């Protein structure tokens, strides 16, 4: 059977847009498009805010060559290229961090910004002034795993979602939903009210999962818990059903669910993938490894599976001249373990090693496609400093900062104003030991610290947000385009 005409039209439209963008990049104005992605609570908003902050203020970052060598002349926010995508609210987020000393609200929709970066080329035959347009697209982490639905049908998704309730630690959370599920007969006549009740029960289950120990991972559909302007639409009113027949009657409840599942893929997921993910040149994937470690081996396994599913959906590989014009690929991917400031620096290499273990399968596949892959343990905004504490004559390597009001460590509840030194614990030297259960769930201490107090320097110039290896991430992602 020939593919539908709209498939050809869609592919042709994507190719023409890619050709136009690549032509502008190669012939008119060099442009680099960076995708910032990550699972829930991985720190995407903080990373993006800190990236803009350091580029606009042209800070001399040690590992970011253009800035450290003094070749970064100016960076400024300019109107973004896509008028139908909301602008990333940098000013609001930076004020929240630096003035209110609070973490900005999580990303709840896609957003974008463009930076015009003026720099001096490195010495050589191309030396002299140049300009790079950096387009950054920030994606809600809750939407990422929806990409795995593109190649899935309704029956397979229903069965795998129900099977997922049998994973360790899920039985109690899933029990109310599984009980409700028995009240819906897939073969019953099409019923809008029944569809809404089934969808509401499923969304309640997803909310309970997100609030539980597996909050480091996600279970699609992501838009169910963060619908945006699609709230209440039929495309978000479906759910898995049990006891599905091999052949589904289109006029049955299962037929209605199947139709809406396909509509969700067609109207929501596929355009998101086509219009944004397929257009990036570089990709950073932020990962909250520490939360998964603290939740235990089951959560780590969930996280590894989620990362792998995301990378399978990305368009990654080495770009040729033709692919650059017609089917651009992300030729560099950076995996970043965030919140490194919650650990003493002596554990940072161990955090990086654990991240590499979790993403090793995805890294091999990405490298085989011709893309360059890197890992880093970073803190986009460093909220702590290193210190030591004494415990029964033993000197422990700790971190100190201002825990948020209500945070509890041991028997102490913090007020949000007082500083405290906390021994977070240590990661094992052998990363495999974490997957084997060497770290007891809940044994690490990771209170939520407030952002640091940012003071002007001794000359009265505005202070800057401290960071850990953000400069290394910047060098990997855009450094080669500023030489």
Confidence (pTM): 0.87
Q: Taking 90 as the threshold, does the pLDDT of residue 409 lie above it?
A: no
Three-class SS state of 288: coil
pLDDT (tens digit, 9 = 90+) per residue, 166-183? 887 788 999 999 999 999
First to last CA, the chain: 50
Phi first, then psi, for residue 199 (nearest 5°) are -65, -40
Contact of 451 with 381, CB cutoff 8 Å: yes
| Partners of residue 130 on adjacent β-strands | 119
Contact of 371 with 365, CB cutoff 8 Å: no
Q: Specify the domain boundaries for CATH 3.40.50.300 within the chain.
A: 30-139+279-323+330-382+469-482
Contact of 125 with 207, CB cutoff 8 Å: no
What residues contact 1, with CB distance under 8 A and at least 6 apart?
A: none
> Which helix (H) or strand (E) is 300 found in, with range?
helix 297-313
pLDDT (tens digit, 9 = 90+) per residue, 327-349? 457 899 999 999 999 999 999 99
Of 213, 226, 100, 111, nearest to 167 by C-alpha is 213
Three-class SS state of 388: strand
Of 123, 139, 120, nearest to 131 by C-alpha is 120
Structure tokens at 280: 């990036």
Structure tokens at 432: 């495999």
Q: Is residue 100 exposed (0-12), middle (13-18) or buried (19+ Cβ within 10 Å)?
A: exposed
pLDDT (tens digit, 9 = 90+) per residue, 116-143? 999 999 877 778 999 999 999 998 777 8
Structure tokens at 296: 């235990």
Contact of 479 with 55, CB cutoff 8 Å: no
Q: Taking 70 as the threshold, does the pLDDT of residue 16 lie above it?
A: no
What's the pLDDT at 5?
43
Q: Taking 70 as the threshold, does the pLDDT of residue 385 lie above it?
A: yes
Of 253, 262, 279, nearest to 112 by C-alpha is 279
Contact of 143 with 108, CB cutoff 8 Å: no
Cα 50 to Cα 104: distance, rounded to the nearest angstrom:
12
**Number of neighbours of residue 334 by Cβ within 10 angstroms:** 21
| Eight-class DSSP state of 481 | G
Q: Taking 80 as the threshold, does the pLDDT of residue 278 lie above it?
A: no
The CATH architecture to which 30-139+279-323+330-382+469-482 belongs is: 3-Layer(aba) Sandwich (3.40)
In a 13 Å sphere around the CA of 315, the CA atoms on its Cβ side amount to: 17
Of 282, 280, 453, 468, nearest to 377 by C-alpha is 468
């Amino acid at each position: 059977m020939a593919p539908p005409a709209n498939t050809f039209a869609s592919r042709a439209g994507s190719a023409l847009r890619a050709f136009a963008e690549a032509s502008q990049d190669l012939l008119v104005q060099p442009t680099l498009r960076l995708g910032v992605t990550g699972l829930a609570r991985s720190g995407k908003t903080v990373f993006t805010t800190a990236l803009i902050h350091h580029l606009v203020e042209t800070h001399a970052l040690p590992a970011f060559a253009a800035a450290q060598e003094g070749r970064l002349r100016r960076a400024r926010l300019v109107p973004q290229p896509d008028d139908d995508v909301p602008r990333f609210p940098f000013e609001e987020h930076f004020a929240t961090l630096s003035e209110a000393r609070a973490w900005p609200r999580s990303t709840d929709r896609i957003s974008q910004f463009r930076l015009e970066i003026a720099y001096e080329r490195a010495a050589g035959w191309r030396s002299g002034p140049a300009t790079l347009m950096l387009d950054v697209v920030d994606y809600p982490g809750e939407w990422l795993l929806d990409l795995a639905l593109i190649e899935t049908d309704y029956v397979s998704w229903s069965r795998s979602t129900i099977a997922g309730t049998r994973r360790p630690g899920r039985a109690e959370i899933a029990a109310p939903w599984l009980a409700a599920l028995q009240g819906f007969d897939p073969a019953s006549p099409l019923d809008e009210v029944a569809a809404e009740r089934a969808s509401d029960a499923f969304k309640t289950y997803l909310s309970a999962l997100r609030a539980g120990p597996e909050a480091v991972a996600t279970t699609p559909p992501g838009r169910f818990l963060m619908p945006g302007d699609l709230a209440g639409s039929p495309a978000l009113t479906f759910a898995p059903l049990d006891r599905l027949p091999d052949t589904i009657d289109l006029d049955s409840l299962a037929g209605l669910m199947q139709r809406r599942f396909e509509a969700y893929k067609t109207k929501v997921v596929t355009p998101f993938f086509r219009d944004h993910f397929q257009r990036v040149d570089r990709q950073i994937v932020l990962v909250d490894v520490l939360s998964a470690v603290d939740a235990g081996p089951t959560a780590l396994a969930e996280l590894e599976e989620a990362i792998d599913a995301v990378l399978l959906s990305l368009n990654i590989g080495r770009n040729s001249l033709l692919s650059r014009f017609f089917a651009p690929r992300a030729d560099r991917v950076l995996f970043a373990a965030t919140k490194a400031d919650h650990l003493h620096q002596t554990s940072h290499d161990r955090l990086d090693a654990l991240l590499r273990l979790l993403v090793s399968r995805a890294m091999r596949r990405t490298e085989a496609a011709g893309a360059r892959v890197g890992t880093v343990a970073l803190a986009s905004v460093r909220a702590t400093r290193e210190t030591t504490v004494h415990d029964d004559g033993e000197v422990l390597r700790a971190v100190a900062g201002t825990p948020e009001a209500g945070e509890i460590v041991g028997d102490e509840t913090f007020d949000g104003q007082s500083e405290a030194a906390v021994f977070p614990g240590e990661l094992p030297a052998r990363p495999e030991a974490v997957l084997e259960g060497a770290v007891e769930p809940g044994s690490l201490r990771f209170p939520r610290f407030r952002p640091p107090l940012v003071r002007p320097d001794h000359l009265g110039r505005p202070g800057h947000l401290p960071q850990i290896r953000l400069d290394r991430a910047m060098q990997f992602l855009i450094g080669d385009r500023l030489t």
